[in-house]
Chains A and B, each alone.
Chain A
Amino acid sequence: MAEPTLTPEACLKRIAQQDRAAFETLYKLISSKLLGVVLRIIPQRSLAEDVLHDTFLKIWRAAHQFDPNRASAMSWAATIARNAAIDHKRRRKEIDLPDEVLNFQMEKDSHSNQPRGDEATRLTLQHCLSKLEETQRQCVVLAYCQGLSREELSEQLDAPVNTVKTWIRRGLLSLRECVSQ
Chain B
Amino acid sequence: MTDNATEEFHDDLRAVAGEYVLDTLSVRERTAFEALLAKDTSVMSLVEDWKHILAPVLQSAPEEQPDASVWLRVNETLELSASEQKSDSNRTVVDLDKLRRSRNRWRGLSAGLVSLAAGLAAFVVIDGSLLQPPSVVPDRLAVLTTDTAGLQFIATVDPARQGIHIRPLKQDGQGDPFAEGPLELWVQVGDALSYLGNVTSASWQWLNYADILKTEEFDQAVLLLARPQEQGAISPTAPGEIVFQGQISSRAR
B55 engages A78 (CB within 8 Å): yes
Residue of B51, B71, B212 touching A61 (CB-CB under 8 A): B212
A57 engages B65 (CB within 8 Å): no
A26 to chain B, nearest CB (A): 11
A29 to B122, CA, bound (A): 49
A70 to B54, CA, bound (A): 13
B235 engages A54 (CB within 8 Å): yes
Q: Which of B16-24, B147-155, B220-228 lies at the interface with chain A?
A: B16-24
- Check if B64 is an interface residue, CB within 8 A of chain A: yes
A48 to B64, CA, bound (A): 11
B210, closest chain A residue (CB): A83
Report if A75-B55 is in contact (Cβ < 8 Å); known contacts: A32-B63, A50-B234.
yes
Report if A87-B59 is in contact (Cβ < 8 Å); known contacts: A52-B66, A60-B78.
no
Residues of A within 8 A of B15 (CB): 168-169, 172-173
B197 to chain A, nearest CB (A): 7
A86 engages B23 (CB within 8 Å): yes
Report if A143-B56 is in contact (Cβ < 8 Å); known contacts: A27-B74, A62-B211, A169-B15.
no
B211 engages A58 (CB within 8 Å): yes
Residues of B within 8 A of A126 (CB): 56
> What per-residue 1/0 map shows which CB atoms of A159-178 lie under 8 Å from chain B?
00000000011001101100
Which range contains the number of A residues in contact with the other chain? 35 or more
- Check if B145 is an interface residue, CB within 8 A of chain A: no
Report if A79-B51 is in contact (Cβ < 8 Å); known contacts: A32-B63, A32-B66, A52-B70.
yes
A125 engages B53 (CB within 8 Å): yes
Residues from 39 to 78 in A contacting B, C-beta threshold 8 Å? 39-40, 49-54, 56-62, 65, 70-71, 74-75, 78
B59 engages A53 (CB within 8 Å): no
- Check if B62 is an interface residue, CB within 8 A of chain A: yes
A150 to chain B, nearest CB (A): 5
Residue of A33, A56, A83 touching B61 (CB-CB under 8 A): A33
Other A-B pairs beyond A36-B62, A49-B66, A53-B77, 14, CB < 8 Å: A31-B65, A33-B63, A35-B66, A36-B64, A52-B70, A61-B211, A62-B212, A106-B56, A107-B62, A109-B59, A145-B61, A168-B22, A173-B14, A175-B18
